[in-house]
Structure 1
């Protein structure tokens, strides 16, 4: 927000602090001053009247002017501006004046001596118009008068960062309430009475369903205006110094009132309105073309200002093209209203538009300032464009009263940590900020003013007191207290542990957006995604049900930039809609990974080999080595993965087999559609499901007794798998001295059964195993295998 020091001073009854002091105080009170700098770049200028104009003898585009500046004789000045004319009052820089870093001197211009310069607004730094010289009002300024004060050349512009909760400070009136508290000046008072010249009014109605969205709507009819009249230089200058461009007199006045009082106004062409004004919600798919050319297709939660036939404006956001003020406008309807932040907030993004009015309404505008803004706006339009104004016509009783806030002095001192702040001091601070307060002993009863939307609770009042006391004056203390460790349920699969394990395997962590394109979910998701009602863009239209979309996108991004060997993982939440209640969602914490490229970086000792399905399965076995009963089962039904290179990962949780993840090679069709040259390896695990496993690893003593190794050669039918073989032996091994089981061989052919080689390690706990112990254990294992369908391979 750009603030003019000169403009601030017009609201104050005393002098403001110096620029540096004012900037420091505002910053300390929570309004960071990013920059302050002089508004103009000139000094020593005078008002002059052009008496004569003659063509330059040696240049077609120059004129020789005689200019009266109040001296004994006129000055001869050469000027090339297209708008020079006799008897106009202009800005004259005589020799010795400063413009920018230049001190003007007499100079020869193509054989003619020029004793100064006729200045444009751009050259002086008081506007952006550089096409012609600046023309002054002959009735306001006398010839020969020094123009430093008249042109506000000593003005300073402060660029201030306004936090979102302080929408009341998006105007000079709002900022001056803070400034007078800093300068110890009386609070500003605003009194703009409206005087009607005619009796013309327009009927105004707020629909019952829109009364909360628009508690107040007011308007004034102004007839017989000349909309072609230009805005005076002072109006253009103030707007341009504060970052707004001049458009037309009527529009410039509405912007002036907005920057001055914080109340956005809008001017309609009265002759383009059908009889009356109606504030209502839009019909579904109702169309409205806005001033910036945007064609808004409204829905039923969009507030409109309409007449009897059509919508005229998006309430609190932007006017419509059909009723805009133009050069041919002779009658104006000036609008000033209070629109609830809830009905404006988010609509700018929904319709892809933005406006200064919406920026203020969505943060909160003074509920009661609209009549003052309308009165000021009507007076300025009449002053600039002429015409006669009717009485103020309004509808709505205004917004409801805000509840008082009760806070004790003890509570203020406790939260701030300053024992010297009593209730009288706190009340003085609040009163200086124009906040009404009543003191009763140690109790403060605060009545939030209509412009302070941020004052809702006792802590908000404490913050105001702390700001006024000075954040830099708050004592620095170290808080001490007895802390007690709370019991923490065991979680073997914490995010930190999984990050460390994956980093040890060469993976890099990625962080991607939770909002993803819908086509990703159609390709990769296994559930219906949650749709966003108001997405930022089409590529962020749904919430992810899998982490794979973002990881594959990042892998493809890197691969296209010659990063051929990638291992990425992400830990984040996915979002699933509850079928019974659309407003509640499950948000499990997930872990996913993507692998592309070779297993090893290029080296001389080993040939390059692409990572395959068994590599990713081995990594997952390392990740889940603490998980009891984890199993990898072939999964030919998964639509995202290759039907013959995919597994689902299961584990026993509370005596129930639960799917905790999937892994495999990306489906060839998806690989081609995404644009990969080779199929990535992917996996996804539910950390939430893993952390439901409460069986933690137990430490046991290392046995000093020797190991016994026995190998079994087992045959199996085609429908039996190695996983079933190992699971059968594991179940039997819990009752036997078997400490390790490993599969070391697998053979298949078309004419014989499958053949597996299994190695068993056995070890005693208190004594060496005897042959009888070993043979008994082997017998039990073989019996269990035969019951499952396996058999020992026969010699020959």
Structure 2
């Protein structure tokens, strides 16, 4: 948000430099930068166009006689709006406008002795559609800067946090500057010249639900003229990059940037009946000021007369009640609407403008009438107007907030030793009134500080005004042990490091998908966006699969045949049990493409078994040892204990056609939320013993219905205390054995940590294993 220093001077004057103020504002928590505004012209005067004739040798140029006070010059101008009688800025011969030095030049055989300037050329505004037209009361020959009372300025650009809605105005920043200067700001009180008619006699206001609008103030002004704004007003708005429209719109914008209170002005004669602040009806039609037709929902707040909506409250006005050049009577609205509804409406219809930004962040409940009076007073200065002798003010909420404050608790929290007087002095700078008690007292919070709700918020105010740099450092740090939580990002980092070290590349996908992408995962219904950027980004992703497949397709089209990718990211889906009706979980998905990396000496082969081995290595690195793979239809479930945490599967070719992929692809998806419950980051070191081990191999013929997991579990259960490891090193299915059977070969390692084993000791357990396999699985030793 841009703030003019000259504008701030209306409230409080500081002798500090711009750089010093930037530092002080930043220390108060208001991060900002500053730039200098200097006019890029010199020797520009006020001129009056006496005659304006068509150039004899050019269709689009005009030959103007311009009175410059002490002489009359001929100037050629191509602006479409130049004509007799206008008062204009003129850059005389020898002056400078930007980088352009004005010279006497010959244009189509006629000399031009200067240049009539536009507002954009002079840096006054962004209007480049024609020359700048000045007030006709200005005198020819007067210096342009003096005539318009133009001043060089410093423009502060603040990055205001969402909780500080009170700082979205020059008044709000002036309050912060008053803290820096330890002064009070100067707020003018306006005494209005009132007419003898009443607002309450001409219109009525009804708030249909109290929570929609906590305060609604309005006043009628009659017999106005809609015309161009005065120069001072245009200059003020121009400095903060606001375009001038007309005196009514410009004044309402000025008040908003000045006091933080958005105003809306209705053409009174276009309103039918009373003003209703209500919720819109379902699919109720409303045409905005920029002539866009909207179908409203039942969550939108509207301002309506007895026939129709005339404004989308706090967001945008309607074309059916707008102020135009024929407007004579107006109704000024100054209100406080429900912040949450305003934000939802502005986002829904993509109308996040200056007014809605302020309503969303909360505005001062006690500022509506003062802002309306300031508008009325300034309007009388720009045009003739009759102000109603009263105003309507419907207020459904009392904004007095009382918070108990404890000095000792504050000091313990901040690590300071401030006394009660010092803290009360700080609160005085913040306009927080305190009761008379000393060590524990009540604080009355100003109505504009909507961000202060709890005692700890007052602690923060003490800290920022006292100065964070003034709080002494403490070498000791005390915190309850139960406040520490496990860092789930640690699991993500370990997975990334392992996979990156084992030939995988990490991929990042767009988190927004098309409906076609989301339909690939029929198990989870996707969350649809209200305002999607395009049909290709209409839903929040419900799977990592489509993004990874696009990456595979991209790489394959560029000749890559062996690909290993992974992605860690959140997916979202509809969930009835959730309060938000949506849920989000974090997944990791791995992709394997290709069956071999060619090498002249030792090619690397990839199949389902090598992939399972990689996954086993990943889980071992995470200290998760009880992982198994169980066949479930056309996929392998990844199981820890009895909990399914993911799957490994071969991708159906039908799901790959839309991506232009024909290769065989394996994918593994793991739920990181469940995996984190089993993740153990503690490293256990075991003593290495020097006693040798004894290895025995066993080869059996067994029915195919039995799984490797069942057999290995049986071997371990009957292998005794010395069985250290079991490894399947051969699997055979072929012509030489029955079709319903398979040949398995295992390597068994026996070892003791206290002695050297003998063959007789190992034979006892080895024979027991053989007997169990023969009796339980009908296995035959080969």
Query: TM class by shorter-chain length?
Result: 0.7 to 0.9
Query: Deviations 1:454-482 (Å, cap 9, x if unpaired)?
Result: 222334334434444445x4356353347
Contact kept in structure 1, 2:43 and 2:143, CA below 8 Å: yes
Note if 1:596 corresponds to 2:596.
Answer: no
1:259 counterpart (257, 260, 267): 257
Cα separation, 2, equivalents of 1:18 and 1:767: 84
Partner residue in 2 for 1:740: 726
For 1:255-334, list aligned pairs within 5 A: 255-334=253-332
- What SS is found at the alignment partner of 1:624? helix
Is residue 660 from structure 1 mapped to residue 645 from structure 2 by the alignment?
yes
Is the partner of 1:3 in helix, strand or coil?
strand
SS of the residue aligned with 1:647? Answer: strand
**How much does 1:358 deviate?**
0.7
SS of residue paired to 1:285: coil
**What is the Cα deviation at residue 560 of structure 1?**
5.7
The CA deviation at 1:317 is: 0.9
Cα distance in 2 for partners of 1:737, 1:759 equals 13
Q: Hey, what's the Cα distance between the residues in 2 that align with 1:689 and 1:64?
A: 81
Matched, 1:761 2:748: yes
Q: Deviations over 1:164-187 (max 9, x none)?
A: 222222222222222344445531
For 1:777, the equivalent position in structure 2 comes to 765
Q: 1:569 corresponds to which residue?
A: 566
- Which residue is equivalent to 1:640? none
State the distance in 1 between where 2:717 and 2:518 align: 40
RMSD of the alignment, in Å? 4.0
How big is the shift at 1:93? Answer: 4.1
Is the CA contact 2:285–2:294 (under 8 Å) kept in the aligned structure 1?
yes
Equivalent of 2:449 in 448, 452, 463:
452
SS in structure 2 of the partner of residue 137 of structure 1: coil
Of the three residues 164, 167, 182, the one matched with 2:162 is 164
Task: Determine the C-alpha separation between the residues in 2 that align with 1:785 and 1:490.
Answer: 45
Give the SS at the match of 1:337: strand
**Greater mean alpha carbon deviation, residues 509-518 or residues 738-747:** 509-518
Aligned equivalents of 1:549, 1:82: Cα separation in 2:
56
CA shift, 1:375, in A, is 2.8
8 Å CA contact retained: 1:368, 1:398? no
CA positional deviation for 1:263: 1.5
Alpha-carbon shift at residue 160 of structure 1 (Å): 2.6
- Distance in 1, matches of 2:390 and 2:664, equals 72
Q: C-alpha displacement at 1:316, in angstroms? A: 0.8
> Aligned ranges for residues 597-746 of structure 1 at < 5 Å?
597=594, 599-600=596-597, 603-605=599-601, 611-625=606-620, 627-636=624-633, 643=634, 646-652=635-641, 657-690=642-675, 699=686, 701-702=688-689, 704-716=691-703, 718-734=704-720, 737=723, 739-746=725-732
Q: What is the deviation of 1:62?
A: 3.8
Counterparts of 1:715 and 1:120 in 2: how far apart (Å)? 95
Change (3 A) 1:522 1:316: same
Q: C-alpha distance in 1, partners of 2:38/2:265?
A: 29
C-alpha distance in structure 2 between counterparts of 1:266 and 1:488, whole Å: 50
Per-residue deviation at 1:587?
6.4
Q: Is the 8 A contact 1:526 1:545 kept in 2?
A: no
1:548–1:594 CA contact under 8 A, matched in 2: no
Residue equivalent to 2:30 = 31
The 2-side partners of 1:607 and 1:295 are apart by 66
Q: Does structure 2 conserve the Cα–Cα contact (< 8 Å) formed by 1:67 and 1:77? A: no
Residues 108 and 315 (structure 1), Cα distance of their counterparts in 2 relative to 1, 3 Å cut: same
Quickly say closer, same or farther: Cα 1:554–1:367, change in 2 above 3 A: farther
Give the alignment of 1:65-104 within 5 angstroms: 65-69=65-69, 73-80=70-77, 81-84=79-82, 88-94=86-92, 97-101=95-99
Q: Which deviations, in whole Å up to 9, do the C-alpha atoms of 1:634-681 show, x marking residues without a partner?
A: 221xxxxxx2xx2112343xxxx3323311212222222444332432
Q: Is the 8 A contact 2:286 2:309 kept in 1?
A: yes
- Give the 3 Å change call, closer, same or farther, for CA 291–631 of structure 1 in structure 2: same
Post-superposition CA distance 1:731-758 (Å, at most 9, x none): 3335674642424131234964423132
Counterpart for residue 124 of structure 1: 122
- Going from structure 1 to structure 2, the CA distance change for 1:608 and 1:617 (only over 3 Å counts) comes to closer
Q: Is the 8 A contact 1:50 1:87 kept in 2?
A: yes
Alignment check: 8 A CA contact 2:73 2:113 kept: yes
**Structure 1: gaps of 5 or more residues:** 637-642
- Name which of 239, 243, 246 aligns with 1:245: 243
User: Residue deviations 1:358-392, cap 9 Å, x none?
Assistant: 11110112212222332333455555465544355
CA contact (8 A) 2:691 2:751 kept: no
Tell me which of 338, 343, 346 is aligned to 2:344. 346
Q: Deviations over 1:584-615 (max 9, x none)?
A: 98866644322234553x54435686x43223
Shift of 1:203: 3.3
Q: Which residue number in structure 1 is paired with residue 205 of structure 2?
A: 205
The CA deviation string for residues 411-434 of structure 1, in whole angstroms up to 9 with x for no partner, is: 555555565x55444444444454
Tell me by how many angstroms 1:221 deviates. Answer: 3.0
Contact in 1 for aligned 2:53/2:62 (Cα 8 Å): no
Q: Tell me the number of residue pairs that the alignment of Structure 1 and Structure 2 aligns.
A: 769
The 3-state SS of whatever aligns with 2:395 is coil
Is this contact kept in 2: 1:525–1:546, CA < 8 A? no
Q: Is the 8 A contact 1:349 1:536 kept in 2?
A: no
Q: Which moved more, 1:214-223 or 1:108-117?
A: 108-117
CA distance in 2, matches of 1:580, 1:114: 78
Distance in 1 (alpha carbons) for counterparts of 2:674 and 2:465? 51
Once the two structures are superposed, what CA deviation does each residue of 1:547-578 show, in whole Å capped at 9, x if it has no partner?
54554455455556666543233445666777
What is the DSSP-based 3-state SS (H/G/I as helix, E as strand, rest coil) of the residue aligned with 1:186?
A: coil
Change (3 A) 1:115 1:17: farther
Partner of 1:790: 778
User: Which deviates the most, 263-272 or 337-346?
Assistant: 263-272
What is the distance in 1 between the residues matched to 2:426 and 2:74?
A: 57
Structure 2 residues without counterparts, runs of 5 or longer? none
- Give the secondary structure class of the aligned counterpart of 1:154: coil
Residue 470 of structure 2, aligned match among 469, 474, 496: 474
Residues 365 and 399 in structure 2, CA contact (< 8 A), matched pair in contact too: no
3-state SS, counterpart of residue 313 of structure 1: strand
Q: Which residue of 2 aligns with 1:336?
A: 334
1:176 matched to which residue of 2?
A: 174
Output the CA distance in 1 between the equivalents of 2:58 and 2:574.
Answer: 78
Residues 1:8 and 2:8 aligned together: yes
Given the superposition, is the C-alpha separation of residues 440 and 102 from structure 1 closer, same or farther in structure 2, using an over 3 Å criterion?
farther
* Partner in structure 2 of residue 155 of structure 1: 152
- 8 Å CA contact 1:166–1:454 kept in 2: the answer is yes
Q: Which of residues 363, 366, 372 is equivalent to 1:365?
A: 363
User: C-alpha displacement at 1:529, in angstroms?
Assistant: 5.8
Map 1:395-544 to 2 at 5 A.
395-411=393-409, 419=417, 422-437=419-434, 440-442=437-439, 445-471=442-468, 473-474=469-470, 477=473, 479-481=475-477, 494-510=491-507, 520-524=517-521, 526-527=523-524
Q: Could you tell me the TM-score, scaled by structure 1's length?
A: 0.84
